[in-house]
Chains A and B, each alone.
Chain A
Amino acid sequence: MKLAVLVNEGPYQHQASDSAYQFVTAALRTGHEVMRVFFYHDGVNNGTRLTTPPQDDRHIQKRWSALAQEHNVDLVLCVAACQRRGLVDEGEAKRNSKDATNIAPGFRISGLGQLIEAGVEADRLVTFGD
């Protein structure tokens, strides 16, 4: 079955991001397709490559990036949520005259249309948040 996931909370703050990750890996393990994970509100903080958690802790961002690389999961950050919180890719850096980027590998910044599309195209959309 084709699944999509919505994550509304940031890493290390609420269990939502961990729950979503465990759900996605279990879905892939059991042979389902995860066509997209959409990160909204504080959820976009999952997509910064500048985090350095303690070595004995899980690295939430790298875990997501690995999923994108190994299973082709489309990781999409909401553009308006990114602008508010300082999540920047090349295009956003240029458009808003920023001196750096911080988006992690496997993530891309796009609009809410991607969430709507996930809701329409996937058989189920599962929301994780507070």
Chain B
Amino acid sequence: MKLLKLVPDDTNIDFLKWRSWAFGISLLLMVASVGLVAAKGLNFGVDFIGGQMIRATFTQSAAAPVTELRETVAKLGYGDPTIQRFGAENQVSIRMKLPEGADKNPELANAMATKITETLKAGHPDVRIDGVDSVSGKVSEELFSKGILALLAAMAGVSIYIWFRFEWQFGVGAIWSLVHDVTLTFGLFALTGWEFDLNIIAALLTIIGYSLNDTVVVYDRIRENLMKFRKMEMASLLNLSVNETLSRTVMTSVSISLPLIILVLFGPDVIFGFSAAMAFGIVVGTYSSIYQAAPILIWLKVGSHSFVPTDEAGSKAERIIEGFES
């Protein structure tokens, strides 16, 4: 049987030739992302800014009466709602920010949700309430700070691990590419205005996990080659390592992208942003392992002198894996 080869044998692409360009473009994109987030801001969901969101379906109507809803809800005196269609034509989400005085009365967010639900039900007998989220200011602040803390802790933790398992330069490279991936994803959300909620934090964490996985594979090969070819010039060595792992990189990225693309296309509407973020992150994460994590090693002056050629670390890993199995 003839097997499929996604990457032809003896592929030898000079990836590192474009490293300065890639780095420049990445920096530019990162600055643009930060700028976008600063200028446009993120479209935070109720998880992070408090308020309420109701999802409703008008079961007997072809389309939801968005204009009328906007007026009705605005009349309740909590401020202007953000009403969007999601999924089918007759499905909407109604979002409200925290009203005035919410800091003194933590129950206001929920009272608002109750009031809007009642109004909807009274005015539209065919309405089906699919979901209600209400979050008070204090809780949303906690969710936000805990989410950010979890992100930072995960990034710092894994980078420290890389530093211990490889060398400090690799740790720096790992955290840099993670910052790169996370920043660009933030930029994507600022650009598109997709809602940024707790699920997106979970998506970011997945991206971190994936991107790092990719980085580790490339780094592992770099370490191996550093010990094998002690005289090779660093750029060629990085190229060799990236090319040697290329078919694996492509195969893994394609495999993981498949379910994600299907999730974006056919998955539940509720998690569209979430799936889209992950699909985006896989692409960016794969790119950053090659064009951010690897070239940084050149600039940080990694060379064969960085490793004592005892293969100590590697054999230790195998021993642990074997211990794990038995």
Q: Do these two chains interact?
A: no
B interface residue numbers (CB < 8 A to A): none
